[in-house]
């Protein structure tokens, strides 16, 4: 019976995801609603009220989603946005927590420390929601990658801040100094652990014999679990460490990289299904109407006031323009992370825990329903789309050969460049250069001029890196 139920759940999840995509509802919301229908207040009638179990399920799901997010990225793609992403993930999280706390204090009549706890819980953007929204988007790469990097890094900050405030509430000898020490310790140890385990993981995969190559996904899952577990044991942020290990593997050429990416994409989807359905089961819909109005107001304030202010202050001295800052401000999607952190609050047994969890759930629901659906439309209005459509490389065979043709125009950055100065990634070859309608003879002294047509060949697995370079070719000098 258990196997029948599990199989039915997986089949239903695929149908739900397909149906949600057809009618424009985020899969996150669809799975949460499905879980609520299965719950005690729905037709399913399933009783599920163990906060510690919900926390374990949510934590495991976040680990797998963050690992896949790092694996499907690369340091080459993120290094240009590392500093602003870190600023958003630290200063931005603190500002968001403070401003949401201030709003919650007046909206819900919560004590100051509890209002700040609510702010900390909803302070991070959600990796699963952001990765899903941006994966096949045409939004400018710089903005998309800033959001991706931020969503991968700010979870550990929000988690540490939430744990610190919970400790402040539950421990008599705990205060601001201890909380700041916890933040520094969690992030510092998580960073070091991620770098160390990332290096080890890359070495292990590089020396994995071909005879057992089919076990590479098992090895990667083991590395993911060990990284998180050991980092947590030494009081570091396992979430940050896992993301960095995934980033290490995704940034290092390997015969197994495309195979691992495909495998972990499926695992991350399964994690989302289990996590969101379980969290939906945990919600009691009958309690939501009481905080509905305040929840909507808080969600709107978070989206159109709090997040934009946090982005503006965090990126005050960055190179981002007003339009880019505005877009980043309204693109702070909330998802599973705040709900999982809400289970941390429930497990702690502090006062108003149920009220905080229900407010968080409502904020996430509103954010997922409305923010994700309008991102690309707003980017279009602001003129923040790339000229080259961003293809979802993982939707096709990563080993398939592909090509892109580029016409050099007056003012392009590559005018006058030699072929070896084009900065093409490893594995990309120039198929041909057409000059005045005829194939040009290519040699080390060949220079590109206006009107030349350059055709490059590559495999689908490295399409994002190729498009990165070609977007830079388009830039005016």
Q: Which residue has the tokens 């999982």?
A: 340
Q: Is residue 65 included in any domain, yes or no? A: yes
Q: What DSSP state is assigned to residue 477?
A: -
> What is the distance of C-alpha 58 from the center of its chain?
15
Q: In b/e form, how buried is each residue of 145-179, taking b as 16+ CB within 10 angstroms? A: bbbbbbbbbbbbbbbbbbbbbbbbbeeeebeeeeb
Tens digit of each residue's pLDDT (9 = 90 or more) over 401-429:
888 888 888 777 778 888 877 878 878 88
Scanning the structure block, which residue is given the tokens 């994700």? Answer: 372
Residue 391 lies in a domain: no
Q: Which CA distances in Å does 185 have to 77, 191, 213, 271, 441?
A: 28, 10, 37, 28, 59
How far is residue 390's CA from residue 265's CA, in Å, rounded to a whole number?
18
Q: How far apart are the first and last CA of the chain?
A: 66
Strands 429-435, 438-439: pairing is: antiparallel
Residues 290 and 429 in one domain: no
Task: For residue 280, tell me if it sits in a domain.
Answer: yes
Residue 436 has pLDDT above 90, yes or no: no
Domain membership of residue 10 (yes or no) is: no
Stretch among 81-90, 105-114, 254-263, 360-369 having the lowest mean pLDDT: 254-263
Residues 208 and 320 in one domain: yes
Tell me the whole-structure pTM to 2 decimals. 0.74
Same domain, 356 and 402: no
- Do 336 and 449 lie in one domain? The reply is no
- pLDDT tens sequence across 275-310: 778 777 777 777 778 888 888 899 999 988 999 999
137, two tokens = 């988007």
* Per-residue confidence (pLDDT) for residue 475, from 0 to 100: 54
- Domain presence at residue 12: no
Last residue of a domain, one of 349, 382, 415: 382
Residue with tokens 């659906």: 373
d(CA 380, CA 448): 32
Cα distance between residue 64 and residue 160, in whole Å: 19
- 347 vs 342: CA distance, rounded Å: 9
The mean pLDDT value of the chain amounts to 82
Average pLDDT over residues 117-137: 75
Please report how many Cα atoms fall inside a 13 Å half-sphere around the Cα of residue 430, on the Cβ side: 23
The answer to whether residue 328 is domain-embedded is yes
Cα–Cα nearest to 76, from 476, 427, 455 = 427
Mean pLDDT of 114-143: 77
Based on the domain organization, do 307 and 420 belong to the same domain?
no
Angstrom distance (rounded) from CA 244 to CA 238: 10
Instruction: Write the CATH number for 176.
Output: 1.20.1530.20
Last residue of a domain, one of 348, 382, 416: 382
Q: Comparing C-alpha atoms, which of 74, 134, 182, 156 is closest to residue 392? A: 134
34 against 432, higher pLDDT: 432
The better pLDDT of the pair 372, 387 is held by 372
Domain boundary residue, one of 356, 382, 408? 382
- 408 part of a folded domain: yes
In 304-394, alpha helices (H): 307-314, 322-330, 336-348, 353-382
Are residues 167 and 57 part of one domain?
Answer: yes
Co-location of 175 and 88 in the same domain: yes
Domain with 368 in it: 49-382
For residue 283, give the nearest of 320, 224, 338, 214 by alpha carbon.
338
- 290 with 408, same domain: the answer is no
pLDDT at 8: 76
C-alpha separations of 70 from 75, 141, 208 in Å? 9, 16, 21
Helix (H) or strand (E) holding 404: strand 401-407
Listed range (277-281, 295-299, 327-331, 471-475) with the worst mean pLDDT: 471-475
What pLDDT was estimated at residue 405?
85
Average pLDDT of span 17-26:
68
Average pLDDT over residues 236-242: 90
Q: Is residue 459 part of a domain?
A: yes
pLDDT over 90 for what percent of the chain? 18
Query: What value does the mean pLDDT take over residues 377-382?
Result: 81
- What's the gap between Cα 367 and its chain centre? 15
CATH of the domain at 444: 3.30.70.1450
Q: Which of 17-21, 301-305, 434-438 has the lowest mean pLDDT?
A: 17-21
354 and 405 housed in the same domain: no
pLDDT tens figures, 135-160? 556 677 778 788 888 887 888 888 88
The answer to whether 341 and 156 have CB atoms below 8 angstroms apart is no
Q: Which residues pair with 231 in a beta bridge?
A: none
Average pLDDT over residues 70-87: 79
Is residue 323 located within the same domain as residue 435?
A: no
Q: Are residues 363 and 416 in the same domain?
A: no
Cα angle 279-236-277, degrees, rounded to a multiple of 5: 10
Rg (CA), the chain: 23
Sorted by sequence, the CB contacts under 8 Å of residue 411 that are 6+ apart come out as: 476, 477
Cβ atoms 299, 363 nearer than 8 A:
yes
Structural domain count of the chain:
2
Statement to judge: residues 263 and 152 lie in one domain = yes
**Could you tell me what percent of the chain has a pLDDT over 70?**
89
């Amino acid at each position: 019976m258990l196997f029948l139920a599990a199989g039915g759940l997986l089949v239903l999840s695929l149908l739900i995801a397909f149906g949600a995509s057809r009618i424009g509802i985020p899969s996150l919301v669809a799975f949460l609603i499905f879980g609520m229908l299965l719950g005690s207040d729905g037709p399913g009638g399933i009783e599920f009220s163990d906060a510690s179990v919900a926390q374990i399920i949510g934590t495991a799901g976040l680990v797998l989603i963050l690992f896949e997010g790092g694996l499907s990225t690369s340091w080459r793609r993120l290094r240009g946005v590392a500093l602003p992403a870190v600023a958003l993930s630290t200063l931005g999280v603190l500002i968001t927590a403070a401003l949401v706390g201030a709003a919650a204090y007046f909206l819900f009549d919560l004590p100051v420390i509890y209002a700040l706890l609510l702010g900390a819980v909803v302070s991070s953007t959600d990796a699963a929601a952001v990765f899903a929204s941006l994966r096949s988007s045409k939004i400018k790469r710089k903005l998309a990658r800033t959001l991706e990097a931020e969503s991968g890094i700010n979870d550990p900050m929000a988690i540490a801040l939430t744990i610190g405030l919970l400790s402040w509430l539950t421990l008599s000898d705990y205060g601001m100094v201890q909380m700041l020490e916890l933040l520094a310790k969690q992030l510092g140890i998580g960073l070091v652990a991620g770098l160390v385990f990332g290096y080890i993981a890359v070495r292990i995969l590089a020396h994995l014999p071909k005879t057992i190559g089919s076990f590479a996904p098992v090895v990667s899952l083991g590395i993911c679990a060990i990284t998180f577990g050991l980092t947590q044991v030494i009081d570091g942020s396992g979430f940050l460490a896992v993301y960095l290990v995934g980033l290490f593997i995704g940034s290092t050429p390997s015969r197994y990289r495309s195979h691992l990416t495909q495998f972990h994409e499926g695992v991350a989807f399964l994690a989302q299904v289990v996590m969101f359905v379980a969290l939906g089961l945990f919600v009691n819909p009958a309690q939501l109407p009481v905080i509905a109005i305040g929840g909507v107001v808080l969600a709107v304030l978070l989206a159109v006031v709090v997040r934009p202010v946090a982005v503006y202050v965090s990126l005050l001295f960055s190179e981002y323009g007003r339009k880019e800052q505005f877009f980043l401000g309204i693109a702070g999607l909330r998802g599973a992370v705040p709900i999982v952190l809400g289970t941390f609050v429930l497990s702690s047994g502090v006062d108003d825990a149920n009220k905080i969890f229900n407010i968080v759930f409502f904020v996430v629901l509103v954010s997922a329903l409305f923010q994700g659906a309008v991102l690309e439309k707003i980017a279009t209005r602001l003129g923040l789309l790339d000229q080259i459509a961003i293809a979802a490389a993982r939707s096709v065979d990563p080993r398939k050969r592909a090509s892109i043709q580029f016409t050099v125009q007056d003012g392009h950055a590559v005018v006058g460049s030699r072929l070896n100065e084009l900065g093409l990634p490893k594995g990309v070859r120039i198929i041909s250069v057409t000059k005045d309608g005829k194939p040009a003879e290519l040699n080390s002294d060949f220079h590109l001029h206006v009107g030349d047509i350059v055709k490059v060949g590559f495999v689908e697995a490295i399409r994002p890196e190729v498009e990165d370079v070609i977007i830079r070719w388009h830039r005016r000098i």
